[in-house]
Amino acid sequence: MAQLKLGDMAPDFELVDQNGKKVKLSDFKGRKLLLYFYPKANTPGCTTQACSVRDAQGDFANIGIAAVGISPDRPEQQKKFDEKYGLGFPLLSDTDHAVADAYGVWGEKSMYGKKYEGIIRSSFFIDEDGKILQAWYKVSPKDTVPKAREAL
């Protein structure tokens, strides 16, 4: 799948969050959005990433930036993750990985020599009109927020 780059239109989406609410990209029109994809709720790297986004929420909100996480987890799993760590931002369920495909973040991975398909941890900074300002593929969990801050 081709990677998105500066100036590309962010692929539209409509997914269900951890509370069963439908969330669309257009809901964020007029605001900047930090959109990040993570492989699996309640795993160490994903927890590090989500908690760093949670901790930056106050700063982001003050300058008009929203944050959204997307993974292939079901909404019930997302809800438990949100409640366990008090995340407080939308965690969207992309069980068929159609949105991950559209963003170029679903692909071959390898663990202990075994190859499989999954989310390639990535984040995107999207402007008020839905255009990509920055795209970070294969981002480290701890680098999601710092890279977004650098982009400002």
| Catalytically annotated residues | 46
Token look-up 């999954």 returns 118
What b/e sequence results for 108-118 when a residue is b if at least 16 CB atoms lie within 10 Å of its CB, and e otherwise?
A: eeeeeeeeeeb
Cα distances (angstroms) measured from residue 95 to each of 59, 84, 90: 31, 21, 15
| First-to-final CA distance of the chain | 27
Q: Smallest Cα–Cα separation from 139: which of 131, 151, 147?
A: 147
Calpha distance 99→120 (Å, rounded):
13
